[in-house]
Amino acid sequence: MTEPDAPTVPDAGAGGRHRELQRRVVRVLAAGQVLGGLGTGATLSLGALLITEVSGSSAWSGMAATMGTLGAAVLAVPLARLAQARGRRTSLSTGALLAVLGGAVVVTAAVLGSLWLVLAGILLMGSAQALNFQARFAATDLAAPETRGRDLSLVVWSTTIGAVAGPNLFGPGEAVGRALGLPSLTGGFVISAIAQVLGAVVFWTGLRPDPLLTATAAQRAAGAGATKGGRRPAGGLAVLRSSAAARRAVLTVALSHAVMVALMSMTPVHLTEHGASLSVVGLTISLHVAGMYALSPVFGALTDRLGARTVVLLGQVLYLGSLLFSLLGADDSVLVTVSLVLLGLGWSASIVAGSTLVSAAVGPAERPRLQGVSDSLMNYAGAAGGAVAGPVLARIGFDGLAASLLVLVLVISATQGLRSRE
């Protein structure tokens, strides 16, 4: 008999079952993230080079990150609403299949030589980023408050394998592309699409019962899901207007992501313009992505132990080091690589701790809506960072771009340095 997505009224043993279900949910989310990470890594690295080749200008290269993060921003709220209505299982599987469709559009666009169709395909592939980010919140649906940072960080960490492999799809992707008679730089998108199909299968078959629906049923049974006066929970934007803690948390996540996207998305272009081989570019991005994900459990544990605000500030210190290396060593590929590793570590600390702040800012009934708005604003900020980074690189260089991003680091640090007044 098929197991239902959510139980009916939980009994006295629900707490123990929820703990066991939470462990299984984290394992399933981790497996899906391994596969989904391939799509994110390939889009951000291969996409920039493909756009440069199709358009004939490096000024357009930042549009890979822009369109990918814009797609994630546009799709974050609909996917969050789908999760609220139908559960994480349906939402995450749908996001993966949308990414598959986007990869098919990119390959078709490369065959036709259409820049605008390439951009549209990468926009649709942004759903891979949207589901990756939603998956980290899915890890907190049934998590105990004292382990929320750890469980979230474990799912973020699991993205390491796929995301590190993604930028290194240059070689295998080219072999696949030649075998299929496809244009240069498109084979990696084929591999990415296959991985997303497998990810959809993992989410659809593994998240039963659904963690969000299970948590919601438990809250309703305990009377925790109701709001004052019986009103429906406030929407994400309403929560932002009424909660200073939510505003600080969302701003921290959004600006931290913008810093990372802006600098990382321009690195492949900067390195290739200075004579670096594709292998060097792939290695640099892989080390950066490893920094983003490999130590996330450490930052999760520190978040639970030291507090999320402290870990966010640690992330900004790492960002500062990254930007200084890029500012002072822009012409040295080794120093640029060191900068990108620090950039990844800073992102990991800031996003793990910042996402924990988002989840802790409101009660369970309002949490999914705020998470969706947070992811949407996070990706809009990343899209803006990628869009501005290309012209900035063309006008004042890689070191000038790094210097400009110091302003955002100062804003984040000041935001988290303020004492809570609510």
Query: 61 Cβ partners below 8 Å, 6+ apart?
Result: 48, 49, 51, 52, 265, 266, 268, 269, 390
Give residue 29's pLDDT.
Answer: 93
**Dihedral, CA atoms, 256, 262, 265, 267, nearest 10 degrees?**
-110
- What residue type is 59 in one-letter code? A
Dist. CA 414–CA 19, nearest whole Å: 38
- Does residue 357 contact residue 145 with C-beta atoms inside 8 Å? no
Please, what is the average pLDDT of the chain? 80
211-239 as b/e, with b when 16 or more CB fall inside 10 Å? bbbbbbbbbeeeeebeeeeeeebbebeeb
CA 155 to centroid of chain Cα atoms = 11
Give residue 347's pLDDT.
Answer: 93
Dist. CA 66–CA 397, nearest whole Å: 19
- Digit-by-digit pLDDT tens for the chain (422 residues) are 334 344 433 343 455 676 788 889 999 998 888 887 766 666 666 777 788 888 777 667 767 767 877 788 888 888 888 888 888 999 999 999 999 999 899 989 888 888 899 899 988 888 888 888 888 888 888 887 778 888 888 888 887 776 666 666 667 777 777 888 888 777 778 888 888 899 999 999 999 899 888 887 877 776 644 444 444 555 667 777 777 888 888 999 999 999 998 888 787 777 777 666 666 777 777 788 778 888 888 998 898 888 889 999 999 999 999 999 888 877 777 888 888 999 999 999 999 999 888 877 776 667 777 888 888 888 788 878 877 887 888 788 888 888 889 999 999 999 887 654 44
pLDDT in tens, 180-229: 888 877 777 888 888 889 999 999 999 989 988 888 787 777 664 444 44
CA angle (266, 271, 273) in 5-degree steps: 95
- What residue type is 374 in one-letter code? S
Give residue 34's pLDDT.
Answer: 82
Give the long-range contacts of residues 45-48, CB within 8 A, separation 24 or more.
45/166, 45/167, 45/170, 45/268, 45/281, 45/282, 45/285, 46/167, 46/169, 46/170, 46/173, 46/185, 46/188, 46/189, 47/106, 47/118, 47/122, 48/265, 48/268, 48/269
Tally of residues, the chain: 422
CA angle (259, 65, 258) in 5-degree steps: 15
Query: 185 Cβ partners below 8 Å, 6+ apart?
Result: 46, 49, 50, 53, 110, 173, 174, 177
Would you say the C-alpha torsion 368, 8, 205, 22 has a positive or negative sign? positive
Give residue 159's pLDDT.
Answer: 73
pTM of the model: 0.74
Dist. CA 29–CA 173, nearest whole Å: 26
In the block, which residue shows the tokens 């994480």? Answer: 88
Give residue 5's pLDDT.
Answer: 43
Dist. CA 20–CA 23, nearest whole Å: 5
Domain ranges of the chain: 19-221+237-417
Give residue 225's pLDDT.
Answer: 45
In the block, which residue shows the tokens 């993604």? Answer: 166
Q: What is the DSSP letter of 331?
A: T
Give residue 244's pLDDT.
Answer: 82
pLDDT in tens, 350-392: 999 998 888 777 766 677 778 888 888 887 888 788 778 878 8
Dist. CA 12–CA 411, nearest whole Å: 47
The H-or-E segment that residue 314 falls in is: helix 308-328
Class of domain 19-221+237-417: mainly alpha
Dist. CA 337–CA 334, nearest whole Å: 5
Query: 171 Cβ partners below 8 Å, 6+ apart?
Result: 279
Dist. CA 141–CA 125, nearest whole Å: 26
Dist. CA 14–CA 214, nearest whole Å: 10
